[in-house]
């Protein structure tokens, strides 16, 4: 108030007419209303489109049995599957409940700084941690999840807060996964029994948790899930998003996905996930993300994981390249153990991606889709772009070391280089107007990367 009076005095004396005029004409920040037409009009904050690559972390009480998948409880007691029931009979005494797994979720070897160092080395620009999966256990001291959270049970630590602090020290964006529903929560079961005409669970459990997460940890991203059984009107999704965009402490930078109720995926929200491991057949007109897991068969850690279940590094990097070329982000999942260790095979895959991005990241980060996404040839060439610079990422080394591409149109100023190689590359054109690029003549061990090489073309159309 004191500062306002001082400015008023200056206005009266005519000393700062220009400044006051500029201030008075400043646009009022747009406010979004709690309907999809308004909420869907909000642009996705630019940091997300620039980031391109993130790491997903599925971690919870399901990491204790560590068998089958993170849906262990549901497959054991929700829609029972014989092999899960047999697993329990062979390993645990009669009367053992899922809640008895809670104290064993110790996170005793969880070192958030080590995790953050690994994620930084992988080249990830954002990390998404499960704060609560469908089992309902929260990885932070949720005030609405008494005695079923990581502070009261097991680890006795605020896992969400600790990882967030370590990531932000390294300027890595922090996303929080949150399941709207909980399989066996009594209030949720009552609401479903009442044909969703009541909202006891939403009003006293899941929505208070979301507000608490945002106000306590200020996430850069909210990765919503567990929405599919109920419409968004049951979840009160639009009211929450209107608050998030208008009045929350992260209103200007926060990014959300599209899982906010039946029929929302691929239609409403922020960027689109559409479905797990979604890959569009053509360039979408909306920002999207592919989420996938290094372990093909599970998102959570499994003690029965086999090497054959693990995505090869070449396949991971190929998926990353194709996703970015098609305008998407690539979110790659790992599942830590109940003690908080990341399996060496997951570490190896992440570090391999990081080494590749150290050389090829210029063709990934902050790029945009080009007018052509792919040339289907023996070399399988995918394109990204940054202004008049085009990046051609080819998956297979061409015969005789000559890369043949036809989509870019050269100019008199065109220059061709290879990321990781200092010298310019020689090129020419054949009778069909294809560009013939002479790649470096060196042994395989001397190439900058082992696969998915990038040619950079400047001043092309």
> Which tens digit of pLDDT belongs to each residue from 174-224?
999 999 999 999 999 999 999 999 999 999 999 999 999 999 999 999 999
- The SS3 assignment for 439 reads coil
pLDDT for 26 equals 59
Q: Supply 226's token pair.
A: 């567990």
Smallest CA-to-CA distance from 417 within 457, 374, 452 is with 457
Which are the contacts of 459, defined by CB distance < 8 A and separation ≥ 6? 388, 389, 411, 413, 414, 415
Angle at 40 between CA 35 and CA 43, to 5 degrees: 140
Give the integer Cα–Cα distance in Å for 216 and 130. Answer: 16
Listed in sequence order, the DSSP H helices in 273-384 are 313-325, 344-360
Q: At how many degrees (to 10) do helices 159-169 and 112-121 cross?
A: 50
Low-confidence ranges of the chain (pLDDT < 50): 1-24
Q: Are 335 and 287 in contact (CB under 8 A)?
A: no
Cα dihedral: 50, 408, 396, 120 (round 10): -10
Q: Supply 35's token pair.
A: 């309907």
Smallest CA-to-CA distance from 454 within 372, 326, 357, 388 is with 357
Residue 374 is classified by DSSP as E
pTM value is 0.93
Q: Supply 32's token pair.
A: 């979004």
Give the integer Cα–Cα distance in Å for 53 and 125. Answer: 6
Listed in sequence order, the DSSP H helices in 274-385 are 313-325, 344-360
- Indicate the pairing of strand 389-394 with strand 381-386: antiparallel
Give the integer Cα–Cα distance in Å for 149 and 339. Answer: 16
- Indicate the pairing of strand 53-57 with strand 328-334: parallel
Angle at 290 between CA 215 and CA 120, to 5 degrees: 65
């Amino acid at each position: 108030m004191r500062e306002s009076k001082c400015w008023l005095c200056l206005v009266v004396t005519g000393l700062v007419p220009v400044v006051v005029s500029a201030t008075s004409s400043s646009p009022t920040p747009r406010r979004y209303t709690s309907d999809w037409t308004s909420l869907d009009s909000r642009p996705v904050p630019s940091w997300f489109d620039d980031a391109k690559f993130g790491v997903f972390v599925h971690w919870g009480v399901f990491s204790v049995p560590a068998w089958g998948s993170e849906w262990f409880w549901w497959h054991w007691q929700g829609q029972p599957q014989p092999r899960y029931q047999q697993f329990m009979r062979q390993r645990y005494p009669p009367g053992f409940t899922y809640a008895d797994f809670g104290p064993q979720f110790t996170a005793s070897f969880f070192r958030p700084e080590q995790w953050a160092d690994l994620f930084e080395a992988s080249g990830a620009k954002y990390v998404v941690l499960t704060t609560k999966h469908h089992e309902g256990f929260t990885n932070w001291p949720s005030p609405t999840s008494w005695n079923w959270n990581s502070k009261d049970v097991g680890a006795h630590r605020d896992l969400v807060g600790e990882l967030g602090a370590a990531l932000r020290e390294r300027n890595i964006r922090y996303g929080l996964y949150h399941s709207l529903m909980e399989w066996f929560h009594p209030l949720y079961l009552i609401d479903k029994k009442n044909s969703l005409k009541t909202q006891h669970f939403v009003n006293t459990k899941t929505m208070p948790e979301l507000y608490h997460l945002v106000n306590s940890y200020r996430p850069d991203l909210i990765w919503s899930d567990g929405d599919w059984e109920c419409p968004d009107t049951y979840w009160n999704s639009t009211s929450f998003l209107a608050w998030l965009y208008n009045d929350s402490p992260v209103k200007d930078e926060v990014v959300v996905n599209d899982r906010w109720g039946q029929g929302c995926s691929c239609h409403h929200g922020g960027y689109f996930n559409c479905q797990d491991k979604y890959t569009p057949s053509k360039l979408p007109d909306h920002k999207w993300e592919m989420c996938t897991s290094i372990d093909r068969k599970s998102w959570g850690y499994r003690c029965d994981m086999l090497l054959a279940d693990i995505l090869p590094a070449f396949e991971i990097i190929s998926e990353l390249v194709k996703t970015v070329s098609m305008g998407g982000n690539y979110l790659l999942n790992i599942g830590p153990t109940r003690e908080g260790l990341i399996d060496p095979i997951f570490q190896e895959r992440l570090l391999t991606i990081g080494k590749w991005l150290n050389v090829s990241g210029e063709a990934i980060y902050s790029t945009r889709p080009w007018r052509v996404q792919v040339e289907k040839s023996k070399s399988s060439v995918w394109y990204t772009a940054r202004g008049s610079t085009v990046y051609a990422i080819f998956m297979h080394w061409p015969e005789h070391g000559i890369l043949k591409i036809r989509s870019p149109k050269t100019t008199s100023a065109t220059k061709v280089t290879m990321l990781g190689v200092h010298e310019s590359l020689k090129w020419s054109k054949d009778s069909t107007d294809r560009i013939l690029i002479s790649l470096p003549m060196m042994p395989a061990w001397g190439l900058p990367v082992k696969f998915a090489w990038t040619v950079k073309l400047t001043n092309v159309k």
